[in-house]
Chains A and B, each alone.
Chain A
Amino acid sequence: MGYIPNTDADRSAMLKAIGIERLEELFHDVPEGYRYPEIDLPAPLSEMEAMQELQRLSEKNMDGKHAVCFLGAGAYHHFIPSLVDFLISRSEFYTSYTPYQPEISQGTLQGIFEYQTMICALTGMDASNASHYDGATSTAEAVIMSLHIHKQKRQKVILSPAIHPQYREVIRTYTRGMKCFLAGGDQAENGLEELGASCNGDTACVVVQNPDFFGRVSPPARLRDLADRAHQHGALLVVIANPISLGLFKPPGEYGADIVTGEGQALGNSLSFGGPYLGFFACRKEYVRRSSGRIVGETVDAEGRRGYVLTLSTREQHIRREKATSNICTNQSLNALAAAVYLSALGRKGLRRVAELCYHKAHHAAKRIAALPGYALQPSQDFFHEFVVKCPWPVEAINRALQEKWGIIGGYDLERVYPKLAGSMLLCVTEVNSAEDIEKLVQGLREVAQTGGG
């Protein structure tokens, strides 16, 4: 096994052509005594047996096909039209490498160029790259880029306390070796005004999320004020956005963002237990040459016909080596293609419709839950498709009951990251949740409130 077409006869002929007798002779440079160790792996399986094992493992998981999901917190359940998987599974896309040879990679390149155009349209930015690993690393790259734009002379990075906690962790890891410090506090209730007030001449950037981790939407006028405040001090405004919400809401470019990042999974990519996803990254044109990641540009071929290539590669590691500002050398090409196909299929009206369905269903669910005895909504009613519910019992107990008795995957237990928010659940409702699903959730929550999850 090993998907190896060589036969014994082939191997003999090849060894002869090389001028040796045994395969082992090929490895004479490997230190003696270290060759051919005992590798303790389970015995190999046939394809049929392997699929049985994988099927068995997969069935131990509670999946969205058999359960109703109200969990979001950075990864979202949306309807994926059948054509998305069909198209990205085309071998020509699926089994190709990074398009270093543009003459035989126009499919990938044009697909990414279209993706970049759609991300610019969604975010209101001038330029998009070909994508980063995920929303968290895309945001970390935005922070690092801001530090480089200020030639690493500014050290303060203001992170809104309401950005996704995992994004904060990744930013912290990525900047471990850099001269900078992360400010912004950890009080989830800190508002945009406080962030603006803490900007000074040492601030490289301010990072906010809209809608934020708790689902709250900030009105564009308040974000505009924050942008003005940051710009007065020469700092950049980085906005982490939800791409589905941008089908309906004002693009960050309209309220002064300099860089827009975010998790693109919601655009036609399955949940897949957290990856592979894609981080979108877009910025104003004056910063393009300082950005990291692959970028596709339009050009012409030798006969003057339009074509596409990877461009601005002089920014990148394979040319600049230790002078590059990032080591990234891949993008999430296939995931970005899925996003482009998804956005093409939905179009302007379709994406807006999905966003509206999310908005109305989430607000309907919130109203129904708020009316239940024992439950209360967070004070702010301004949200998109996620909202925080204060529960009468520990969230873990409520979720266990919802799961076991109702086949519902409940919301995110905020206590896992914010001890002060014990008993608070972050619920997400999207277009895939029917009125019936919502009713089932409401009934489940009502019953759990009475029984205490026991």
Chain B
Amino acid sequence: MNEPLIFDLSSPGRTGVSLPKLDVPESEIPADWVRDDLWLPEVAEVDVVRHYVRLSQMNYGVDIGFYPLGSCTMKYNPKVNDAAAGLPGFAQIHPLQNPNTAQGALELMYGLQRFFAEIGGFSAVTLQPAAGAQGELTGILVMRAFLHDRGDKERTRILVPDSAHGTNPATTTMAGLEVIQIPSEPRGNIDLKTLKAHLDHTVVGLMLTNPNTLGLFDEHLLEITGMVHEAGGLVYGDGANLNAILGICQPGKMGFDVMHFNLHKTFSTPHGGGGPGACAVGAVEPLAAYLPGPIVALKEEQEKRKFSWQMPERSIGRVKSFWGNFGMLVRAYTYIRMLGAAGLRAVAENAVLNANYLQARLKQLYPIPYGHRTCMHEFVAKGTIEGAPDIRALDIAKRLMDYGFHPPTNYFPLIVPEALMIEPTETESKERLDSFIEAMAGIAEEGRINPELLHAAPHKAPCRRLDEVKAARELKLSAKKPLY
């Protein structure tokens, strides 16, 4: 199933839009500014529509089926969110127009700041970061600036558990700090002894994903945050896995000083094929003044509510132009308004229930190294099959496509070999989970009888396995050398 490139559909003279006539006199354009040519396709509207519709048919999305991509929280994206974000009063407003003419937008952002502060147990929230990774950078820069102001300039190291997302160490480097990796102990918690050994006057703090990427809630959380604080350090919360604990507990109350929220994971905004994401960062009191801004403030003037932009007093500065990914903020706001506190708690409960149900059933088919523990919203299985020694996680992942499922995250976290990281989310039914278990059982059986079938999978996807080595070796990153 190949679709030509849009450039190959081009025919000189065609166009896909009609533009208005010039209704003012022409002005002279300096000849030396003007380019000679521009290599863009020339196609009719129908060509554009058919081309991109056909491309879309080669994609798999949550609206098509089960997407148990661990750590990514691929939950259903409610359609009302998009309807709200598309209202002209949100979609067609300019970021720099006078705040007096955008009070509804500021009110929404103010409300959302409060919702996140409440959900996370923080005193202030910024909505500026564009994605989780940028939220991490924000948080680490906030912590660094706070410690610098306190006179703690020797603190240059960040402790990161070995189960962390790659963004945690990369963020640390970007912030000009050094990474110290902390191992996990056999139950999947942070190794307290090693942690303690590293907690000295050089430590900025700990970056902790909790529940962690094994899907486990650390059994010594309060001890850990207490130890870090006692050593004069701070605790950063990677909120990637917040879906598990919505309404169950508040990280800001358990010793997390700064945390990011992924709106595209926990708060149901669509992933769009890799973005746009959106992010909020919350902080407890002494650090709140360092958040990027402006953020929205509320003033009551003669019993009239007025929302305005305000830069936090000791802000690290902007991390993005304008105010954040507003269109995504509208979606998250809509979601929270429809769920309320009880609805959010139900989300976490059902996400965790679904994951534990899957874990309990899959334990009988595949090794699950930490399967003796209760998992949170996700768990990590090993993609190996007894009696089929050369089957790897990748084979199982690719074969799942033939059964109509998106594969789980594979080969992450790095501490579990042949990892298959499975996150069902709360928006899947028991029947859906049962059909996934049946597929996994079928694949285990196929692996023993006909391993070649798995090695060569997928068989029913729009294309077969792709040669990634060739792609990197013989770089071809655009259709052809542009002519300009």
Contacts and interface: CB of A to CB of B under 8 A. Distances in A.
Nearest to B55: A107
A104 B326 contact: no
A345 interface: yes
Contacts of B440: none
Given A105-B60, A111-B55, A97 B67 contact: yes
Interface in B30-70: 30, 32-35, 37-43, 45, 48-49, 51-53, 55-64, 67, 69
Interface in B82-125: 82-85, 87-98, 101-105, 107-108, 115, 118-119, 121
A346 B15 contact: yes
A318 interface: yes
Contacts of B96: 71, 73-75, 412
B169 to A, nearest CB: 4
B375 to A, nearest CB: 9
B482 interface: yes
A172 interface: yes
Nearest to A58: B89
Given A103-B462, A136-B321, A297-B475, A92 B64 contact: yes
Interface string A191-209: 0000000000000000000
A23 B353 contact: yes
Interface stretch (B191-199, B421-429, B443-451): B421-429
A333 interface: yes
A380 interface: no
B47 to A, nearest CB: 8
**Closest 6 pairs between A and B when the two form their complex, measured CB to CB:** A177-B176, A58-B89, A274-B322, A60-B104, A274-B95, A334-B272
A11 B353 contact: yes
B248 to A, nearest CB: 6
Given A36-B248, A128-B477, A299-B470, A273 B60 contact: no
Given A39-B118, A337-B273, 8 more contacts: A50-B338, A87-B52, A94-B272, A133-B131, A273-B326, A344-B52, A347-B40, A347-B43
Interface stretch (A153-161, A162-170, A226-234): A162-170
B321 A95 contact: no
A321 B472 CA distance: 19
A48 B44 CA distance: 39
Contacts of A11: 350, 353
Interface residues of A, number: 213
Interface residues of B, number: 206
Q: Which label, helix, strand, loop or mixed, suits the secondary structure of the B interface?
A: loop
A251 to B, nearest CB: 5
Contact of A219 (B23, B33, B320): B33
A423 interface: no
Given A177-B174, A347-B41, A307 B466 contact: yes
Contacts of B468: 102, 299, 309, 311
Contacts of B322: 74-75, 134, 166, 273-275
Interface string A351-383: 111101101110110010000000000000010
B285 to A, nearest CB: 18
Given A4-B347, A121-B482, A351-B38, A108 B59 contact: yes
Interface in B175-232: 175-177, 179, 216-219, 221-222
Given A166-B318, A346-B16, A348-B38, A271 B93 contact: yes
A350 B16 contact: yes
A276 B97 contact: no
A151 B67 CA distance: 41
Given A108-B273, A299-B471, A1 B346 contact: yes
B59 A105 contact: yes
Interface in B150-167: 165-167
A333 B59 CA distance: 13
Contact of B221 (A31, A89, A144, A172): A31
B326 A14 contact: no
Contacts of A178: 176
B465 A348 contact: no
Nearest to B482: A121
A95 B278 CA distance: 15
22 contacts: A2-B346, A34-B253, A51-B83, A54-B108, A61-B90, A89-B82, A94-B77, A96-B61, A103-B461, A103-B462, A104-B60, A137-B134, A166-B318, A173-B318, A275-B130, A276-B328, A296-B477, A298-B471, A300-B466, A307-B463, A317-B166, A318-B166
A2 B27 contact: no
A296 B361 CA distance: 38
Given A121-B482, A307-B463, A297 B476 contact: yes
Contacts of B464: 103, 301-303, 305
A69 B352 CA distance: 48
Contacts of A254: 35, 484
Contact of B32 (A26, A220, A299): A220
Contacts of A277: 321
B478 A116 contact: yes
Contacts of A13: 430
Contacts of A17: 357, 360-361
